Structure 1
Amino acid sequence: MKPPAGSRFTRLSTEEMAQRRLDGLCYNCPKKFSREHLKHCTMKGIYLLVGDLEESEDAPSDDDQEVAISLLALAGVPASQTLRLTTTIGEVHIQTLVDSSSTHSFIVTETGSRLGLHPVARPGLTVGIANGDRVPSTGICKAVSLRIGNEHFVLDLYVLPLGGYELVLGCDWLRTLGHVL
């Protein structure tokens, strides 16, 4: 199935995925799936798996949601399972962590200043960490335009004193790609 023009992803319906699983086929190409096939699949890459869940009216909005960051993202602890990439804001390349354990996206205080971003002050704003502690945030940089490869995104970035990564992309960014399960 070819993606529509301008689409980021090839989309398989739940039924198509179930049929491929039953037939033992690769999700990305029409060949039989095996661990060996995975090494040689001509369509291998990074893919997004989206479920058919519809958004509930009772689901919390970003405004209602507790703002949280993972301890690894806050401390900048590298791990072999982390997804890191280069993001561009203006013409500046920034090492970025993609962190599905963080509810929102965050930028280091000094990086925001260096880029000329002006956070909207939020006195008393704190961000929860997985260990139960809270870290004060100086505010939110609204509608920051960033680029990953040829893809453009506009995000609100919470300002934090991070250690190790200049930018953390959380679930708010992942939602721009489709539903997050």
Structure 2
Amino acid sequence: MHSLLAHHSSWDPLFFTTHFIDGLHSEIKVAVMLHRPKDLDTAVALAELQEEAVEMVRQEQESQVTARGLTSMARAGRFSARPSLPVTVASSSNGLKGAPTSPGTPAPDGRRSPDSARIAIGVPSVDDKLKTLRAYRRARGLCFTCGERWGQGHTCAATVPLHVVEELVGMLTVPASPESAASQDNSEEEDLCLLSTAATSGTESPRAFRMLGTLQGKSLLMLVDSGSSHSFINSEIAKDWPEVQAMSKPLRVRVADGAVTVCNTEVPGCEYHIQGHVFQSTLKLFPLRSYDMILGMDWLESRGLMNIDWGAKSMIFQHQGQFIQLQGVSADAHKCPSISTVQLQLLQAQEAVFALVQLCSVKPEGDSSSIPAVVQELLAEFSELFEEPRGLPPHRSFDHAIDLLPGAIPVNIRPYRYSPAQKDEIEAQVADMLAQGIIQISRSPFSS
């Protein structure tokens, strides 16, 4: 480390400490990180102590295994090539009691015990951590109880320091096994629905597939969305339907912004029409802002093999024994055809009008406030007072100055960044003051 620092003094010593700790074995790394060493020498000393403690524990365990194995073989009157540790089991599924099992052998019901799972993944036990802590405190001359410096006549304080509590919490905390974490993640994903950005925001992308359909005589705007896991219907439309049922197990819905809400109602076997064809789906009730219905991945998977033309907004698939073609709709923002009052009333009767907006051209009006004549005469009389200043002010009888302290040196700071808007404004003001002669170009190596 010192050889490298001689060539590159800008490197942080903590860089070598963290890289050294990352290269240690897991059983040594945990104990070293528990003490948060601030330099490389302390980290090396802690690693050596932990390595010695682990080796002592391993030798002690091997001696215990050998002694117990020889004892069991002597009682049985025979020798085996590999001794095992007999463990008495209270009961089993086949009614046998006292069946010996070893730590590496699965339980009778096929499940692994917590101890065997921790041994398999190499997680140190609480006893190992306690022995490591005692070895570290013995080497440092610290009290086993309070962690403070041990000496003649030492008395533990009434209050425990915070770092001692953190050490105990770190030792007694048993990490969750990967199997339990994976099972928990799988259970959470099972009841989680997804709703894409297009379904929530209503933005029209080139690949958005929208269709018009009817449900109970009402025209609906539907979105075929592969980013949504289930099919949804706007809760404002179906909240008063008698077909709405409460779900036996509520589902959580995660929208595009990361928020998670609960969906607990649905319409099973809801029948709707799309371009003359009848479909049935189970629709979840959810407050949709831009669409009336979302046809998600469950609807697409039920259709089977299909041919989709995203450019022409067309899809072909087999439905009820025959191939059908559904044509999507796309908004043309370049055209805005006018409609009559009768057409508007018909659209309103079909509840196909989302909003009615009237656009009117507005001409900017001039400033209505006029300056009174008395004020104008006053401004004209003292016009030199209201002119923009040019250059430095004239010399007065007393010129102001900022006196520095004796021995003061210029401030040297590193360059810092501005936002583009602030940078443009600063450059404009500096250029204006340079043109007026208020400031001059600085050639000093310092920034003050």
TM-score by length of 2: 0.24
Deviations 1:62-113 (A, max 9, x none): xx46321102202223334311111221222101111011111001111113
- Say which of 129, 140, 149 aligns to 2:255: 129
Q: Which moves more between the two structures, 94-103 or 105-114?
A: 105-114
Alignment correspondent of 1:175: 301
The alpha-carbon distance between structure 1 residues 100 and 91, as it changes in their structure 2 partners (threshold 3 A), is same
In 2: Cα distance, 1:68 partner to 1:179 partner:
23
Structure 2 counterpart of 1:42: none
Number of residue-to-residue matches in the alignment: 119
**What are the Cα deviations for residues 115-140 of structure 1, in whole angstroms up to 9, with x where unaligned?**
65423245753212244321222411
Q: Which residue of 1 aligns with 2:238?
A: 112
2:279 is matched by which residue type in structure 1? F
* 2:142 paired residue number: none
Structure 1: which amino acid aligns with 2:251? L
Question: Contact 1:82 / 1:98 at 8 angstroms: preserved in 2?
Answer: yes
Which moved further from structure 2: 105-114 or 115-124?
A: 115-124
- The code of the aligned residue for 1:88 comes to T
Q: TM-score, normalised by structure 1?
A: 0.56
1:86 is matched with which residue? 212
Cα distance per residue 1:6-32 (max 9 Å; x no partner): xxxxxxxxxxxxxxxxxxxxxxxxxxx
Matched, 1:161 2:287: yes
| Residue identity in the other structure for 2:285 | V
Q: Which residue of 1 aligns with 2:143?
A: none
Secondary structure of 1:67's counterpart equals strand
The one-character-per-residue Cα deviations of 1:34-54 (angstroms, maximum 9, x if unpaired) are: xxxxxxxxxxxxxxxxxxxxx
Question: Is residue 101 of structure 1 aligned with residue 227 of structure 2?
Answer: yes
Residues 82/90 of structure 1: CA separation in 2 closer, same or farther (3 Å cut): same
More helix per residue: 1 or 2?
2
Residue pair 1:122, 1:140 contacting (<8 A) in 2 also: no
Q: Where do 1:44-55 residues align within 5 Å?
A: none
Separation in structure 2 between the aligned mates of residue 175 and residue 123 of structure 1, nearest angstrom? 23
Question: 1:117–1:76: structure 2 CA closer, same or farther, 3 Å change rule?
Answer: farther
Structure 1: 5+ residue stretches without partners: 1-63
Contact 1:68 1:128 in 2 (8 A): yes
Name whichever of 120-129 and 155-164 sits farther off.
Answer: 120-129
| Residues 144 and 131 (structure 1), Cα distance of their counterparts in 2 relative to 1, 3 Å cut | same
SS at match of 1:137: strand
Give the match for residue 39 of structure 1: none
CA shift for structure 1 position 179: 4.8
User: CA 1:166 to 1:140, structure 2 compared with 1: closer, same or farther past 3 Å?
Assistant: same
Are the counterparts in 1 of residues 233 and 288 from structure 2 also a CA contact under 8 Å? yes
Of the three residues 275, 278, 293, the one matched with 1:149 is 275
Q: Secondary structure at the match of 2:226?
A: coil
- The change in CA–CA distance for 1:117 and 1:111 in structure 2 (over 3 A counts) is farther
Higher share in strand: 1
Change (3 A) 1:123 1:66: closer
Q: Which residue number corresponds to residue 71 of structure 1?
A: 197
Alignment map for 1:23-34 (pairs within 5 Å): none
| Contact residue 120 and residue 142 of structure 1 kept, 8 A | no
Higher RCO, 1 or 2 (CA under 8 Å, sep at least 6)? 1
Kindly report the root-mean-square deviation, in angstroms, between the aligned alpha carbons of the 2 structures.
2.7
The AA in structure 2 aligned to 1:164 is: S
Q: Match for 2:193: what amino acid?
A: V
> What is the distance in 1 between the residues matched to 2:291 and 2:214?
14
Alignment gaps of 5+ in structure 2: 1-189, 307-448
SS state at 1:159 partner: strand
